[in-house]
Structure 1
Amino acid sequence: MNTSEMNAENTLLPLALLALGKTGADVERMVRKVRRTARRSGRAVSWADLENALLAGQADMSADLRRRAAVHEAGHAVVYTVTGVAAVQSASIGLHGIGMVTTTPNASLPQNETWLMNSVACLLAGRAAELTVIGEALAGGGGADESDLARATAMALAAETSLGFSGHQPLLYRSATMGTNELALDRQLAERVNRRLENAEAIARRIIDENRRAVEDVAAQLDDVGVMSGDEVRQLVGRPMDVIQPSNAPP
């Protein structure tokens, strides 16, 4: 990539971040609409035209909810960065529902029990940040099959039923579909899964406590501008991409 291409990429990065979650067809339709509007006004398309069009889909949030969402997503972003489980690509609030952190998995990490517990900690980190910074957590971390709590529970359940990490019958394989139903029927299994979730939340809260300033800084920037790149997150955490080392926190 030459210098002019790099400059163009950096210039367009803010718009690219605002477009996260949209398909190429979505962006193409939006640009055509912006061009038509500008043409009718007898002028060229401006940066503000594109930015306003991308911001038009932002969720309408009160100042309090926006702050809570910023803290929640900051928790995810910081714990992903510190554990090294995945590289943060972006963090945003208001653009895609309440908030979102996009990541790229770290394929170089061995998928052992430490990796699994750190991964569950990353999923619980938004709720953990709310509890640490605000003092309470909203219901947004749960309530749906794709929620943080649901995904964390599924990973903890897999550890106990299908990945061989259980201290109880580790060689016995049970499918994920059977396991979900078993949580309601097998009290001991439910207790083991819950214990894993509590341990993972403790990992998340420890990391957040140790990096409280970074969580607050990321949350403040998200509250202010709504979207951040992964590099911006890593800069505030103090962990550039080339020096990130995975956390070896025990499960």
Structure 2
Amino acid sequence: MSDTKTVSSAAAALQSLALLATGRTGADVERLVREARQKARRDSRTLTWADIEQALAADRMFMSDDLRWRVSVHEAGHAVAWSLLGIGEVESVTIGIGEVGQVRTRRYGHVAQTEEWLMKTMASMLAGRVAERLLIGEVVSGSGGHEDSDLAKATRLAIDAETILGFAEQQPLIYRSTRDRPDILTLDRDLAERVNTRLLVAEALARELLDSNGPNLMLLAQCLNRDGVMPGDEVRKLLGAGGGNIGDECGETRL
């Protein structure tokens, strides 16, 4: 029995460390472990789980209280949308590790990629920005600014819907690749209008979802702000996405 408990305890500790390491490269983790081992040697003792956990927790990006809360709200918005729209599953949510904030997801492969699926995917991409508007009253520039941003990804999906995926109301059978035409929305005002309309519809879908799940959105943001990292199963438990009751409090403090 004692051996079983030891294995279970070690597995739980390893899972906790893996979660804290989310968003870091293998080289980052190797460096932190090496530094923790060196510190333990200086203290004339062996390396422990707690040493590694402390090293991972200490290597977080510094954020003001205001920025930390904004990032928590933003990532909570993404997590709620991905969890409740039925197109994917949240694996983890982190803030201040590797990136300012990150929601790792596993998109369902068994779901048909219909136009409805595309609009829900776009809504999930825009949900962080929507959450900021709902809980804070304004948005920051973090949703845009680069080619891998939320706005860029959602816009590319909307362009694809109108040009290559066959979802356009006008001439849906014509395949028109825009990959080598980065200025297409500037040159084609009609296409830009249709793309913008899709983005507005997706944003409205995200707003309706988050507005109807306001207490859960707030609670998830508060838990993330406190802990900095949440596994997907904890997110689903809090949201009641697995069919259970809606959560009313965060789990144990992690850091």
Counterparts of 2:29 and 2:107, CA distance in 1:
26
Q: 1:65 matched to which residue of 2?
A: 67
CA contact (8 A) 1:73 1:126 kept: yes
SS of the residue 2:33 aligns to:
helix
Q: Is residue 90 of structure 1 aligned with residue 92 of structure 2?
A: yes
Provide closer, same or farther for how the CA distance between residues 165 and 29 of structure 1 changes in structure 2, counting only shifts above 3 A: same
Q: Which among 161, 172, 175 is matched to residue 173 of structure 1?
A: 175
State which of 20, 43, 50 in structure 2 corresponds to 1:18. 20
Residue 199 (structure 2) aligns with? 197
Residue 216 of structure 1 aligns with an amino acid whose one-letter code is M
One-letter code aligned to 1:46: T
1:9-43, Cα deviation, whole Å (9 max, x unpaired):
33322211110122334323322221122012101
1:21-100 to 2 correspondences below 5 Å: 21-100=23-102
| C-alpha distance 178-160 of structure 1, shift in aligned 2 (>3 A) | farther
Cα-to-partner distance string for 1:178-217 (whole Å, 9 max, x where unaligned): 4532111000100000000000000101110111111111
TM superposition score normalised by structure 1: 0.90
Alignment partners' CA distance in 2, 1:29 and 1:99: 22
SS at match of 2:182: helix
Matched residue, 1:248: none
**Alignment partners' CA distance in 2, 1:176 and 1:66:** 37
Q: How far apart, in 2, do the equivalents of 1:18 and 1:35 lie?
A: 18
Structure 2 residue 128 is matched with structure 1 residue 126: yes
Name the structure 1 match of 2:212.
Answer: 210
Code of the aligned partner of 2:78: H
Among the aligned pairs, what percent are the same residue?
A: 49
Counterpart in the other structure of 2:224? 222
1:138 paired residue number: 140
Change (3 A) 1:153 1:241: farther
| Cα pair 1:161 1:179 within 8 Å, conserved | no
Q: What residue ranges of structure 1 are gaps of 5+ in the alignment?
A: 243-251
How far residue 5 of structure 1 moved from its aligned partner, in angstroms, is: 5.4
1:15 is aligned with what amino acid?
L
- State the AA in 1 paired with 2:228: G
Indicate the structure whose relative CO is greater, using CA pairs within 8 Å and at least 6 residues apart.
1
User: Which runs of structure 1 show a deviation greater than 6 angstroms over 4 or more consecutive aligned residues?
Assistant: none
* Whole-Å separation in 2 of the counterparts to 1:25 and 1:89: 22
- Scaled by the length of structure 2, the TM-score of the pair is 0.89
> How many positions carry a matched residue from both structures?
241
Q: Which runs of 5+ in 2 are unaligned?
A: 245-255
Aligned to 1:247: none
The Cα shift of 1:56 comes to 3.2
SS at match of 2:183: helix
Between the aligned partners of 1:83 and 1:6, the Cα distance in structure 2 is 34
Q: CA deviation at 1:72?
A: 0.3
The CA RMSD over aligned residues, in Å, is: 1.9
Q: Is the 8 A contact 1:72 1:126 kept in 2?
A: yes
**SS class of match (1:198):** helix
